[in-house]
Amino acid sequence: VNEDEFLRLFAQEAAGRLDSLAQRAIGLEAGEPSREELDAMFRDAHTLKGGASVVGLEAVARRMHDLEQLLEGLRTRRRRLTSEVIDTVLAHVDAVRELIVAGDAPAAEASRYLPQPRAAATPSPPPISPDETISVPLRRLDELVRLVGESTAAQLRVGRLIGERLRGDPVAADEYHRLARVLSDLHERAMRARMLTVGTIAAPLQRAARDVARARGREVRWELVGGDTELDRHVLEALREPLVALVRNAVDHGVEDPSERRARGKPEAGLVRVAAHQTGADVVVAVADDGRGIDFDRVRAAIGGGPASEGELAAALFEPGVTTAVGVTQVSGRGVGLDAVRAVVDGLRGRIEVRSGHGAGTEFRITVPMTLAALRCLLVETGTRRFALPMHAADITLPAGGEAVTVAEGRPALWAGEDVLPLADLGELVGEGRSSRPEGPAVVLTTGRGRLAVRVDELLGQRDVVVQDLGRVLPRLPLIAGASVDPDGSLLLVLDPGGLVERGRARELAAPRVPSGAPAPAQAPSPRVLIVDDELMVRELERSILSRAGFEVVAAADGAQALQLLREQQVDLVLTDLEMPGVDGFALTRAIRADARLTSLPVLVLSGHEGGRDRRRVLDAGADAFLVKSGFDELALLGAIRRLLRTGRTSP
Amino acid sequence: VQVLLLPVGADWYALELTAVREVVVGGALEPLPGAPPATRGLMNLRGVVLPVLDTAALLGIERPSPGAGSPHVVVVESARGPAGLTASAVPQTGVLGDGAGRSELPAGRGRYAVGDDVAVLVDLETLLAPERIGAAA
């Protein structure tokens, strides 16, 4: 679910609540309203307010806030119910309806995704210009691309038949090649239709830079280079959060205070530059600053102080628990995330590098494929099975016989240039048994999780494969990136280089050479978070943030459902709203604390109110942390969750 | 209730027809390294990759046999997406008769008469829940 989808979800949910508000408002005219009626109206207004601030419809949130105040007045009988009051309620409802359709203040942004009733008022269609655009659901474009991919596969099958049956028929061959050309053209254009420019996510990045700069008292000069570089929309969406994290880090940990910069002879405003360009089938997006740089001595200390090359230190930055803040002050837990950034980049089959000079700034450089649809792979054989290894991680192959093979720390290893890499057998890694050819070639895998030489029986060549994922019924399999259907109908597994490296190194290295502090988290089950909120949209927003961050998510629509779920399932943390019908956040927290089995379960409360009174009441009820919903900050949320999961309950 | 009757070993298991997309001839399956034991492998369903699971292992009545082929595969649509379930013989459609007691299987919603036989009605979401797939070792 992405942001446009939230707007749509919000619009949908809001329509129902606005209808019920209007209906109840009209019902009020019949006479003295019951407390229940007013409570229900208050809840609708409150929920809409919360939802609107989450999707950034500030004018809607303000309207609903005013309505809340008015209803509160009626509830406490400070205000008398008159026709004028009902008019006001209805006016708010109508205004909000229009605001949602118009997409609130950032009209241009939201209205792209919402129906435009204005169009109906202009009966004669305007002449169509070549630049005119329409919005198409992404699902349809994806379907189109998938069908083109299938057509290409079918075309290859037909090609084989023609080759077999009509050997040498020039007309058939000519027609076949024409079809192939048209399909390849169609494929290219269908892919283009799904591309977006990097510039489309510039606004949140610039906003992140500005927000952190203001909070930290820094000055920042923002620069975007190559904003017209195109990327597959899925790739760009996935990169958005990591890029926001990198930009935040650049301002928070990179750029110095204005006085310090002046003292160092730098301009007072620190430069934060996001630059994108295309190289072949890859796109490079770099986030750079001209700040203090990373102090690698401090990084060395943070990972245990042993001897480590600059490259190893740079790699250590992406380990959980090490941050760019190490060289500076330990700030606010905002440094969370380089490990998460790397995980996203790995997931996109890309890589991330860092360059930094002490005092001379830092550059994070992310390289990702322009699209995920076709992946260039190296085909290998081990035993009787074929596998595909993505080329971006498998670019070197070496003969793995004779003198190149050596032993390091009691395990087989292979000389690769100047390095000695652990050597593993692909057949063993995938559980097919050791390779029959001890002298077979080795493929060098280079990933964010390290390097590994993998011995195979045979190299079968390169191929572009259309990778399909395995769906959500199975859990994520660490060794498998996806599968592809061959023209002859057989299946080809695409292996995940990162997973292979992790497993290979775990097998080959009896004791980890890296100093402790970086335990392999891959085997640990992901923590499960229970989300409790009566609003579908908020639940979906939280679900999408948490599952992207690698948590397992279960959801409940109110406190009663949550308690039911907690009785049935093992949960590691509860993230709950405060104001809900029935069992609200306070009651839920108290019930959890009162239950002997759940009493140490961390509870994080997310409230629509800023109020200090709520905060105290929530913490008194036994919650571990309190966050405010508006100005929803993904990193702050994830940071708080990770902190609670790490430390457990703060007080007994 | 209209159901699909799935032969597993010597028993019949019933799936509500609304959850069943089609029944296809199985055959060889591509084994998946590192997958939970209840996973038989992948199959090619008209160009789309489909994970196939061992029905007997998911039900908890037999040990899984990963990688083995299956003569028939029932393609179901679960809340988490499509999946294939193995069947040891040709599945049939039928109508559930009177209740014939509770089922002791985690995914069983009860026993029902079907003609002269008894079938266990299976709850698909429970059968394909992550903890079932992980537990069927």
CA-nearest of A400, A395, A396, A435 to A415 is A400
Give me the percent of chain A exceeding a pLDDT of 70. 80
The arithmetic mean of pLDDT across residues A433-461, rounded, is: 81
Rounded to the nearest angstrom, the minimum Cα separation between B41 and chain A is: 10
Please state the rounded mean pLDDT for residues A158-173. Answer: 67
Q: Would you say residue A154 has pLDDT above 80?
A: no
Buried-exposed string A154-191: b where 16+ CB fall within 10 A, e elsewhere:
ebeeebeeeeeeeeeeeeeeeebeeeeeebeebbeebb
To test the contact with chain A by mutation, choose from B21, B25, B32, B124 the residue with the greatest count of A C-beta atoms within 10 A, namely B32
Band of residue A3 on the pLDDT scale cut at 50, 70, 90: low
* List of chain A residues whose C-beta atoms are within 8 Å of the C-beta of residue B48: 468, 485
Question: What pLDDT, on a 0 to 100 scale, did the predictor assign at position A651?
Answer: 45
Q: Please indicate whether, in this complex, the C-beta atoms of B50 and A472 are within 8 angstroms of each other.
A: no
Tens digit of each residue's pLDDT (9 = 90 or more) over A242-279 = 899 899 889 988 899 999 999 989 899 999 999 999 87
> Buried b vs exposed e over B53-74: b needs ≥16 C-beta within 10 Å?
bbbbbbbbeeebebeeebebbb
pLDDT of residue A522: 40
Per-residue confidence (pLDDT) for residue A121, from 0 to 100: 41
Cα dihedral A214, A216, A217, A223 sign: negative
B32/A480 Cβ within 8 A: yes
Task: Check CB contact of B137 with chain A, cutoff 8 Å.
Answer: no
CB A571 within 8 A of CB A554: yes
Structure confidence at residue B92 (pLDDT): 92
pLDDT tens-digit series, residues A485-524: 876 778 999 999 888 998 888 765 433 333 333 333 344 5
Percent above pLDDT 90 for chain B: 51
CA distance A483 to chain B (A): 7
Q: In angstroms, rounded to a whole number, what is the distance separating the alpha carbons of residues A452 and A500?
A: 8
The encoded tokens of residue A324 equal: 């760019």
Report d(CA A526, CA B33) in Å as an integer. 20
Q: Looking at the complex, does the CB of residue B14 fall below 8 Å from at least one CB of chain A?
A: no
Per-residue pLDDT at A605 exceeds 80? yes
Out of B30, B33, B83, the one facing A431 most closely (by C-beta) is B33
Q: Is the pLDDT of residue A225 over 50?
A: yes
- Report the pLDDT averaged over residues A339-353: 80
Provide the mean pLDDT of chain A: 78
Which residues 465-484 in chain A show a CB within 8 A of chain B? 468, 470-475, 477-480, 482-484
How many angstroms separate the CA atoms of A432 and A426, rounded?
8
Interface touch A432/B128, C-beta < 8 Å: no
Mean pLDDT of the A143-161 span: 70
Q: What is the pLDDT confidence band of residue A375, given thresholds at 50, 70 and 90?
A: confident
Q: Are A531 and A553 in contact (CB under 8 A)?
A: yes
Which residues on adjacent β-strands are paired with residue B137?
none
Question: What pLDDT sits at residue B86?
Answer: 92
Tell me the range of A98-112, A279-293, A387-401, A604-618 where mean pLDDT is highest: A279-293
Q: Which DSSP string do the residues of A532-567 spell out, in sequence order?
A: E-S-HHHHHHHHHHHHHTT-EEEEESSHHHHHHHHH
> Between chains, do B36 and A474 touch, taking CB under 8 Å as contact?
yes
Most confident of A341-355, A364-378, A558-572: A558-572
At A649, the pLDDT band (50, 70, 90 cuts) reads: low
pLDDT for the residue numbered A475: 86
Residue A191 has pLDDT above 80, yes or no: no
Q: Answer whether A153 sits within 8 Å of B47, measured CB to CB.
A: yes
Which is nearest to A591 in space by CA: A577, A581, A601? A601
List, for residues B120-132, the tens digit of each pLDDT value.
Answer: 999 999 999 988 8
Instruction: Give the pLDDT confidence score for residue A492 in this predicted structure.
Output: 93
SS3 A388: strand
Q: Which pLDDT score, from 0 to 100, does residue B14 have?
A: 95
B42 at the A interface (CB within 8 A)? Answer: yes
**Does B53 lie at the interface with A, CB-CB under 8 angstroms?**
yes
